[in-house]
Chains A and B, each alone.
Chain A
Amino acid sequence: MLSHELWTANADLRQACLEHPFVQGLGNGTLEGDAFKCYVAQDVFFLKAFFRAYGLAAARCPDLERAGVFHGLMGGVLEELKLHEGYAARLGIDLRTVRPYPAARAYTDFLLRTAWHEGLDRTVAAMTPCMRLYAWLGKKLRPRLRLDHPYQRWIETYSSDGFEDLARSLERLLDGVATDTPAVRDAYRYAMRCEHDFFAAAMEETG
């Protein structure tokens, strides 16, 4: 299947994400609170764009069945946003004043350009890495959970069966609407690169 081939072809980037100090710190519970705060704030900005991109993808579907799947995925993003709003309230982040970092803006501009301007195949290819990567990272980090782990909720959310189902439904859409073209491969890989840069920015910006 195309989704599996693309995931395998980008093993280098997913491994780089897993090994990034931000993700390792998240798993070990040693990540500085400021870096996590920064990440949460930036991720809220990102998720709002992701939500819109799903909406644009739904509008491009010729059939209501697939549009309905995007509708379900939009619900998943709203759940994630609730999780983040909970973090923001606890960590004292004012989400109204968040300014996106260049890495976040590069990622959201890429997603929205693709969703507005390119075909459904490239749009789904640009959106799948985020979902599959987070489901994979969640499962990789889950064995490190312990009592009083500071990032327990994050790890539990992304390693959950519910999140895996969302990732799989997006991959099924990818397999249904896309063929193996250079443009689809480029969109998938660029999104994976953006994921890595997004983690890196949270640490770089907080020193």
Chain B
Amino acid sequence: MTSFDQSRLVRGAGELWKQGTEAAFLDAVRDASLPRPAFDRWLVQDFLFVQGLTVFASLVAARAPRDAQRVTIQGLAALNDELDWFEDNLEQRGLDVHPSPHPVCQRYTDYLLASAYGKPVEVLLAIFFGVEAAYCVGWGRCEPKGPYAEFIERWTSPAFIKYVRVLQGLVDTHPHPDQQAEFDEVMRLEHDFWEMTWKE
């Protein structure tokens, strides 16, 4: 299983890291008991979230120091591919490609964009790492099998893990005293996002 336990921010987040990466939603994906409507509700919100994350990533890339430009630009291109994949996938599943944001999703993307403009770039690297690492580790707890195998496989690929490790390294080479507080905030938002789908 993928681990980021060596990360200063992961260690510092303690219980919050656990809350941001473990969820009943993911347990239900793993044991194939998650009802499809609950997964679909999550998927359309995740599509909206990725739209917000793409804007966030573009702003991070624009503000990144030289040694962080390559991975942030590559991350941005990967997010664009992800949006294409989402659009195809949602259409195939007959889901709304122009959904209204759930308040939890709106809260999270508002946070990302307000931060992207207003916080130091070193803090943005910590936020970016937090978002991607939580996703990577959360899905990494699932085996790629069952009705959601395609999704698990996609979000636990070696290329994705490698990319998150590069972000982790950038956090270490660009420290800032506010990184931990914002990494912790990302974990709170991740927790709420995993939980969001259970309610209609």
Which A residues have a C-beta under 8 Å from some C-beta of B? Answer: 52, 102, 105-106, 108-113, 116-117, 190
A106 and B102 alpha carbons, distance in the complex (Å): 13
Least CB distance, A207 to chain B, in whole angstroms:
21
Contact at B114–A113, with CB atoms within 8 Å? yes
Chain A nearest CB from B25 CB (Å) reads 20
Question: How many A-B contacts if CB must be within 8 Å?
Answer: 35
Selected A-B contacts with CB under 8 Å, 21 pairs: A52-B118, A102-B107, A102-B188, A106-B110, A109-B107, A109-B110, A109-B113, A109-B114, A110-B106, A110-B107, A110-B110, A112-B114, A112-B117, A113-B109, A113-B110, A113-B113, A113-B114, A116-B117, A117-B113, A117-B117, A190-B106
Chain A residues with CB under 8 Å of B114's CB are 108-113, 116
Assembly CA distance A190 to B100 (angstroms): 12
Bound Cα distance A131, B84 (Å): 41
Closest approach, in angstroms, between the C-beta of A60 and any C-beta of chain B? 13
Q: Which residues of B lie under 8 Å from residue A52 when comparing CB positions?
A: 118
Name the A residues within 8 Å of B118 (CB-CB): 52, 112, 116
Interface centre among A109, A111, A116 (most CB of B within 10 A): A109
Nearest residue (CB) in A for B108 is A109
For the complex, is B148 an interface residue (Cβ under 8 Å from A)?
A: no
**How far does the Cβ of A117 sit from chain B's closest Cβ, in whole Å?**
5
The contact of B111 among A105, A116, A117, by CB within 8 Å, is: A105
Assess whether B55 is interfacial by the CB under 8 Å rule.
yes
Q: Which residues of B contact A102 (CB under 8 A)?
A: 107, 188
Known A102-B107, A116-B114, A116-B118; further 9 A-B contacts with Cβ < 8 A: A52-B118, A102-B188, A106-B103, A106-B107, A108-B114, A110-B107, A110-B114, A112-B114, A113-B109
Which 8 interchain pairs have the tightest Cβ spacing?
A: A116-B117, A112-B114, A109-B110, A113-B113, A109-B114, A113-B114, A113-B110, A110-B110
| CA A110 to CA B112, docked complex, whole Å | 10
| Distance (whole angstroms) from the CB of B37 to the closest CB of chain A | 25
Contacts of B117 in A (CB 8 A): 112, 116-117
Can you name the residue of chain A whose Cβ is closest to the Cβ of B189? Answer: A102
Q: B124 CB to closest chain A CB, in angstroms?
A: 13
**Nearest CB on A from B89, distance (A):** 26
Interface string of B182-193 (1 = CB under 8 A from A): 000000100000
A137 to B188, CA, bound (A): 33
